[in-house]
Amino acid sequence: MKLSQFNATVTAFVLAVLVGHVTDATTGQPLANVTIAIGSQHTSTDKHGAYRLTGLKPGHYTLSASSNDVPSQQRSAVVKDSAQTTLDLVLCSTTLDYSCAGAGPG
């Protein structure tokens, strides 16, 4: 096997990790128990708003975030082929905060 074929094979099996913190757009406080999902991969934020989503192939994704207190919101995510990519999220935590872009009825 040539070195270029070996590198291509190894790259095909490298899975990336997406990590970050989720905070409230209005208060700046961490948001716990927010489900972060990309496709079938999902996780929840801890009490500090931290999340870790594993098993991703490098590429461009649409990430969704939601909980009982956070209306479903989507963000673009670029997962790099390095071992870990960081994406911090600032979300609207209630549908009653109409000043927060993307929140409220409509």
Residue 103's pLDDT band, with cuts at 50, 70 and 90, is very low
Contact partners, residue 101, CB within 8 Å, separation at least 6: 92
- Residue 95 confidence (pLDDT) above 80: no
* CATH code of the domain occupying 3-91: 2.60.40.1120
E-state strands within the chain: 16-24, 35-38, 41-44, 50-56, 59-66, 73-79, 84-86, 89-91
The answer to whether the CB of 86 falls within 8 A of the CB of 50 is no
**Span of 14-18, 43-47, 102-106 with lowest mean pLDDT:** 102-106
pTM of the model: 0.77
Give me the phi and psi of 38, to 5 degrees please.
-130, 110
- Give the tens place of pLDDT for each residue, 32-85: 999 999 989 999 999 999 999 998 998 999 999 999 988 899 999 999 887 799
